């Protein structure tokens, strides 16, 4: 299918918002909400790097949208619209493209996000899928990685390590487990919690490369240390084997939110208002880097903290 | 160089605007100008498709920015910021990356555009470079491809066909010609003219795939026909050979603006105010498609009107 047909026949029916102008102009035009700051992110997924070539195309579309919305959630932003940059190879045949677009349409509808525009290129050696997500936040309420203060508590949403185990399932290295596979293929951005954290959390980010590596980044950006109780981390697969704990807290793709806030923040209220589990896993301390404890004992910080991009 | 080093060492120094947050947060945060619509575009350049692998990396960076700014110009928008989506292969070694970023910095400074954020992926089979450009326009003044009315005149900026001839130079199929090569490698988005056309032109777009194919798209979007005098088209290399005329009006990558406006629009004033040559090349007529004339005689419309994306 030629690119123009792909856009006109498959993508244009998804671009129902007036801002998209039916994907027939050179750009999208959108009136932003009055008195709001805008939040922009762009993440790229490459076949064979960020997803497996035989992952279902509808799940690839979900993941492409979800990882970008997770960045907005990490900034306490509410999503509005997206632009696509699709680089496709011969492996993404007509059936793949149709399934991808159908899945994208369902994902956009699920999150209430508009498709505004983008670009498609065919004939590449490998699929490379980019997406720009645009959202908004009340002025001054955007979260950042800097801002954690000694004495703050450290929290994480949901559970950790499931996506890494799901990748092992997808690779055939673990027995089939639908829930874990879903964590890898269809991450769920924590948009409600993120929006609720604006003005509440002192620092925040999403856990995309592994809990420990992302915690270390938050600590570095804030100029503080983080004391983490590994046995308090809500693991996707609970275990009393420290090696298995460490495997889960250094696995990527969880797309949970990691944030710091006063120790008396109303966790139960956040939980109830956003239907999102929130668990305290540690404390912000003076200093730098990570201090890990397991059953009260200090644990050496692993050499590999998560996924370091090549 | 690892991606994180690439971002921290090369890209972060370009991201001096507060909105970018030093590229150290999950997203950029920007307060849009009050009372303006925002304009969004995302275009992708792939190595070996949109540029030649041995094009200078600083020119590739220029082109990546310029083609996106050209889409903003086509909508009468003024650019504000950009996000990058860089997919790189082993061919883009450290020297290439440094030269690309240096060229990007010069291009951003030239156009007064901020780098807000983005993502970088290494280890691809082929370089795929995406860029999202964000601009603003006074409400209701954005141009579109629809809106041309029979009786309007058809105009084009600058000259046509130079980039296609420059591609031939780059491929060694034409003798070296610095000016033509520059048209291919370093297109110049018509931002001043585009901004001046808001509220003045009835329809507009940029010429990216060839004058004739883009004119046909404007005609289709507006539901009109376009009568074009081929001998009025300002060619990059003037010629009296009709075949050579047709080659230039069906070549891509010019990034000039094609627009319709009342026949009494003040072309001399536009030209003076924006320092951009503007030439009338035809008339909007009732009907559909293109009617081409050369020296007063009808010329059959070529089968191939420009670059049809595969």
Instruction: Return d(Cα A279, Cα A206) in angstroms, integer.
Output: 15
Query: Which residues does chain B have within 8 Å of residue A198's beta carbon, measured at their own beta carbons?
Result: none
Query: Which residues does chain B have within 8 Å of residue A27's beta carbon, measured at their own beta carbons?
Result: 39-41, 71-72, 74-75, 77, 135
pLDDT tens, residue by residue, B209-246: 999 999 999 999 999 999 999 999 999 999 999 999 99
- Mean of all residue pLDDT scores within chain A: 95
Contacts of A261 (CB under 8 A, 6+ apart): A152, A153, A155, A197, A200, A201, A202
Residue A280 near residue A267, CB atoms below 8 Å: yes
Contacts of A296 (CB under 8 A, 6+ apart): none
Instruction: Check CB contact under 8 Å for B2 and A40.
Output: no
CA neighbor of B237 nearest in space, from B124, B160, B136: B160
Q: Is B253 left (phi over 0), alpha (psi -120 to 50) or beta?
A: left
- Give residue A99's pLDDT: 97
Q: Dihedral of CA A274/A167/B91/B68: which sign?
A: negative
Instruction: Check CB contact under 8 Å for B308 and A2.
Output: yes
Token representation of residue A150: 């000694």
CA neighbor of A114 nearest in space, from A4, A233, A231, A20: A20
Strand arrangement, sheet containing B203-207: B203-207, B256-261, B153-157, B278-285, B225-229, B289-294, B297-299
Instruction: Return d(Cα A3, Cα B133) in angstroms, integer.
Output: 21
SS3 B33: coil
Q: At what angle do helices A57-74 and A178-185 cross, to 10 degrees?
A: 70
Please give the interface size between A and B, counted as residue pairs whose CB atoms are below 8 Å apart. 212
Query: Which residues does chain B have within 8 Å of residue A24's beta carbon, measured at their own beta carbons?
Result: 145-146, 221
DSSP state string for A206-243: EESS-HHHHHHHHHHHHT-EEEEEGGGS-BSS--S-HH
**What's the whole-model pTM score?**
0.96
SS3 B274: helix
Contacts of A273 (CB under 8 A, 6+ apart): A192, A196
B206 touches chain A (CB under 8 A): yes
pLDDT tens, residue by residue, B83-128: 999 999 999 999 999 999 999 999 999 999 999 999 999 999 999 9
pLDDT tens, N- to C-terminus, chain B (310 residues): 567 788 888 899 999 999 999 898 999 999 999 999 999 999 999 999 999 999 999 999 999 999 999 999 999 999 999 999 999 999 999 999 999 999 999 999 999 999 999 999 999 999 999 999 999 999 999 999 999 999 999 999 999 999 999 999 999 999 999 999 999 999 999 999 999 999 999 999 999 999 999 999 999 999 999 999 999 999 999 999 999 999 999 999 999 999 999 999 998 999 999 999 999 999 999 999 999 999 999 999 999 999 876 4
Instruction: Return d(Cα A244, Cα B41) in angstroms, integer.
Output: 45
The predicted complex's ipTM stands at 0.94
Give the residue from A8, A40, A91 with the most B CB atoms within 10 Å of its CB, the best one to mutate: A40
Query: Which chain A residues in 7-66 lie under 8 Å from chain B, judged by CB atoms?
Result: 21, 24-32, 34, 37-44, 46, 49-50
B77 touches chain A (CB under 8 A): yes
SS3 B110: helix
DSSP state string for B111-155: HT-EEEEEEEEEEESS-EEEEEEEEEE-TT----SS---TT-EEE
Domains of chain A in start order, with CATH, are 3-137 (3.30.1330.10), 153-299 (3.90.650.10)
A107 touches chain B (CB under 8 A): no
């Amino acid at each position: 299918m030629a690119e123009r047909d792909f856009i006109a026949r498959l993508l244009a029916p998804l671009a129902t918002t007036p801002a998209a102008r039916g994907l027939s102009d050179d750009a999208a035009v959108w009136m932003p909400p009055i008195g709001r700051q805008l939040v922009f992110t762009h993440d790229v997924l490459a076949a064979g790097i960020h997803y497996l070539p035989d992952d279902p195309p509808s799940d690839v579309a979900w993941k492409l949208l979800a990882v970008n919305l997770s960045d907005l959630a990490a900034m306490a932003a509410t999503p509005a619209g997206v632009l696509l940059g699709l680089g496709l190879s011969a492996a993404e045949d007509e059936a793949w493209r149709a399934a991808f677009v159908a899945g994208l349409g369902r994902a956009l509808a699920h999150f209430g996000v508009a498709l505004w525009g983008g670009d498609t290129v065919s004939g590449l050696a490998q699929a490379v899928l980019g997406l720009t997500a645009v959202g908004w936040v009340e002025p001054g309420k955007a979260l950042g990685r800097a801002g954690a203060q000694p004495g703050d508590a450290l929290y994480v949403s949901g559970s950790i390590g499931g996506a890494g185990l799901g990748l092992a399932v997808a690779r055939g290295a673990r027995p089939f487990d639908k829930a874990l596979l879903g964590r890898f293929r269809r991450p769920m951005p924590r948009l409600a919690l993120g929006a609720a954290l604006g003005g509440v959390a002192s620092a925040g980010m999403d856990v995309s490369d592994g809990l420990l590596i992302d915690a270390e980044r938050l600590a570095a950006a804030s100029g503080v240390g983080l004391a983490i109780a590994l046995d308090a981390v809500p693991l996707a697969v609970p275990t009393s084997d420290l090696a298995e704990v460490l495997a889960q807290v250094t696995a990527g793709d969880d797309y949970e939110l990691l944030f710091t806030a006063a120790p008396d923040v109303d966790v139960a209220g956040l939980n109830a208002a956003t239907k999102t589990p929130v668990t305290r896993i540690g404390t912000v301390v003076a200093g730098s880097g990570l201090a890990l404890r397991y059953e009260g004992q200090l644990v050496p910080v692993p050499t590999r903290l998560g996924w370091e991009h090549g």
